[in-house]
Amino acid sequence: MRANVQRLQKVFICVFLLIVLALTNLTVFQRDKLMASPYNNQRVAGWDNQSIRGGIFDRHGEVLAVTDKKGGPRVYPAGYDLAPIIGYLDPKIGAAGLEARYGAELSGRPPFWAALGLNFPLAVQGEDLVLTVSLSLQREAMRLLAGRRGAAIVLDPRTGAVLALASQPSFEPSKLAKQWESISHDKAAPLLNRATQGLYPPGSTLKVVTLAAVLSQRPELAANNYHCPGQLTLPGYTVHCSQAHGELDLASALAVSCNVTFSQLGLKLGNNALAKQAERAFFNNDIPFELPTAKSSWPQQNVGDGETAQRAIGQGQVLTTPLQMALVTAGIANGGMIYQPYLVQERRLGGRISARTKPQKMAEFVSPKVAAAITDMMIEVTKHGTGRGAALSEIKVAGKTGTAENPHGAPHAWYIGFAPAEKPRVVVAVIVENAGSGAAAALPLARTLLQLALKEVS
């Protein structure tokens, strides 16, 4: 009899542990995927008829989203400008953005509560979210991109805190249900978050990755001079430069953005070495973030010299998101270390902090020595090269322009950079679709954002 009881106890313990493991998987490891799932959106939107949904605020306490009463409609004072981050919440069309990602917390249901299928709140009012985002900086980023298709990201490389995340065109969350039919079929794709999900050829901004591979894996190549006759003919592809640059060292090649030199470097390294370096910045991997992200890709299979040369200068089959390029830049700015990006600074319940985000190291892109060397070269880009227009009064800026050839139309304009170069506090990545030269179209936007963002962080 006693033996039977002991066996029964063991069975109950095993079943209990299985339930705990299943709930842990749902509420911890699969949480983001479940909350972002379109099958869950209708349920997220319907939770708020039993509680007052928590508010969403910017880093200075400005209201971004609020619900006035139980079961009441969601109000978005910042509307169009914050839609790429906040998303939307509607009982008919569901939820997206942070409204979906933090649906359980905002509605007063912790993740394990939702996993158990319990459809009533634990609190009369849900948690509030305090973001890392600055409303004024976000509005300026959206204004600078207005009338164009593109994206801009501003973040603090020391922590990963996102100060602005803009995507144009956008939408008005409070009017989305009425306009759903037209917006969801709009060819301009206003529902696509270009900052995190738009995949583009990165153009010459990717030369910093090629440079990182050279300095990290083949440092002897950095001591050589390279000759640029204006073009380099390879099987299946000819690399062109804007002019014949003649003899160049590596710093000068980056400053004038010499395609021939960086193609030669790419051929010496080979595709696998380039891909390996890119993966240290999370290419070919899912970036952990509160919003859905597309995976930046650097294919690893063996390819010919023509394709390898193209990839070394940010063309060919390499595709990346603006968020990915912001993280590459942050890795250089922060001595080689990339911190996980995040949007939510604190969660508060009843005015008290219930959770606070702690910065997390995500990847070591390069060594501190290599990061310092690349920084010096990016400063030269601003002083004497294609990025001269990014210079700020009494503040050193390190940057890189990019003009990415696009098989579907005019080139995309890119700029990545950080400041102050000697002790970086702010990183920026900007893309303007089909706008041509990065120096002409993306750089002026980035310069304004850098200047404003430096006032946000000390």
Query: pLDDT of 370-422, one tens digit each?
Result: 999 999 999 999 999 999 999 999 999 999 999 999 888 899 999 999 999 99
Cis peptide before 411 (omega within 30 of 0): no
Rounded to 5 degrees, φ, ψ at 188 are -75, -10
Cα angle value 16/19/25 (rounded, 5°): 140
What number is the average pLDDT over the span 216-243? 94
Query: pLDDT of 158-203, one tens digit each?
Result: 999 999 999 999 999 999 999 999 999 999 999 999 999 999 999 9
Helix, coil or strand: residue 427? strand
Tokens of 407: 């098989």
What number is the average pLDDT over the span 270-280? 97
* Residue 118: pLDDT over 80: no
Q: What pLDDT score was predicted for residue 34?
A: 47
What number is the average pLDDT over the span 130-152? 98
What number is the average pLDDT over the span 225-254? 95
What number is the average pLDDT over the span 60-88? 92
Query: pLDDT of 391-402, one tens digit each?
Result: 999 999 999 999
**What domains are there in the chain, each with its CATH number?**
1-131 (3.90.1310.10), 196-343+358-453 (3.40.710.10)
**Beta strands in 68-144, from DSSP E residues, in sequence order:** 74-75, 88-90, 94-96, 128-131
Helices (H), 89-131: 97-101, 103-106, 111-115
- Lowest mean pLDDT segment, chosen from 45-59, 85-99, 268-282: 45-59
Rounded distance between C-alpha atoms, residue 150 and residue 357, angstroms: 29
Rounded distance between C-alpha atoms, residue 308 and residue 301, angstroms: 11
- Lowest mean pLDDT segment, chosen from 24-28, 126-130, 450-454: 24-28
Rounded distance between C-alpha atoms, residue 351 and residue 141, angstroms: 30
Burial 252-272 (b: 16+ CB within 10 A, else e): bbbbbbbbbbbbbbbbebbbe
* Residue 116: pLDDT over 90: no
- Per DSSP bridges, beta strands 337-339 and 246-248 are unpaired
| pLDDT over 70, % of the chain | 86
Instruction: Name the nearest CA neighbour of 202 among 430, 444, 441, 443.
Output: 430
Rounded to 5 degrees, φ, ψ at 76 are -120, 90
What number is the average pLDDT over the span 84-113? 87
Q: What pLDDT score was predicted for residue 407?
A: 83
What number is the average pLDDT over the span 344-367? 95
CB atoms within 10 A of CB 35: 21
Mean pLDDT (the chain, rounded): 90
* Residue 247: pLDDT over 70: yes
Tokens of 263: 């193609």
Q: What pLDDT score was predicted for residue 358?
A: 97
Rg of the Cα atoms in the chain: 24
Give the DSSP H/E element, type plus range, for residue 63: strand 63-67
Q: What pLDDT score was predicted for residue 161?
A: 98
CA 136 to chain CA centroid, Å, is 19
Rounded to 5 degrees, φ, ψ at 339 are -95, 145
* Residue 301: pLDDT over 90: no
Strand partners, 73: none
Strand partners, 361: 339
Confidence class of residue 302 from pLDDT cuts 50, 70 and 90? confident
